Amino acid sequence: MLSKLKPPLPHEHGSWVMLIVPLVLGFAVAPLWRWRSLWLIGAALGLFLLRYPLATIVKTRQRSGIDNTAMWQWSVAYAGLAAICGGVLILFEPLGWLALIGLLGGSIVLFHLWLVARRQEMSAVGELLGIFGLALGAPMAYYTATGQLDGRAAALWIINALYFGGTTFYIKLKVRQQPRVPAPDRISDRWVAAKACLAYQVVVLTLTLLLVALQHAPHLIPLAFVPMTIKVLYGASRWQDKKSLSLPRLGTIEVIHSTLFAVLVVVAFA
């Protein structure tokens, strides 16, 4: 039955980047590669894909005439993929901590569905929690490859969560905030209008420097956030109006910056 249906996939390209980059970084920072990591990729992909059909079911549950049979079938398939792949690692490999991390990830999915039911999934809390959940891919990948859930694994989670949290504030600024009002004449007024985005960036830089000071992250880690900081400062200064707004262009810029971030993190940990 499923072979005749088009699988429901998330449409947001940014969410795919937030899935892939933490996983890649976790594997890249680990000192070795193990083939059992492929099971983790399957488990992470299944849990990631599961959210979309379940959210669709929740959104349309009160609409008459909508058949969600296919969505339920794909939900079972995605959940099965996550359970089988994760089960192999937990039952046949000494990776018991994956069960706890997976439980945390599943709890985040359930909370997301609760927000969807209340039409609050696009709130700052909802988006940031989802990002922090996807960032768990980094310590999971590192733990799967090394068998160690240590300070480096925690640092990878924090670094990824902080970075992709910033992309949420930036996209809100460029898509939802700036195009709605005329551009202020003075740069200082534009920065005031972007205070939430800029304040978050200050918090990010402060926390990354604190990680370095406490010796929980390499000394070069703050450099990975420099391109993002420049982007935020430039984006706050250069006002985005409705005519020049291009979502594909913004998406491409985010992919480029995320790739650069990943490269710099790998260099920092090398």
**Over the stretch 157-186, which tens digit does the pLDDT of each residue have?**
999 999 999 998 999 999 988 898 888 889
d(CA 194, CA 172): 10
Mean pLDDT on 46-64: 86
pLDDT beyond 90 at 259: yes
Contact 29, 144 (CB under 8 A): no
Contact 117, 58 (CB under 8 A): yes
78-105 pLDDT, tens digit each: 999 999 999 999 998 888 888 988 888 8
Mean pLDDT on 148-154: 90
236 alpha-carbon distance from chain centroid = 23
State both tokens at 161. Answer: 């969560």
164 alpha-carbon distance from chain centroid = 6
Arithmetic mean of pLDDT over the chain = 89
The pLDDT confidence band at residue 3, using thresholds 50, 70 and 90, is very low
Element at 223 (helix H, strand E): none
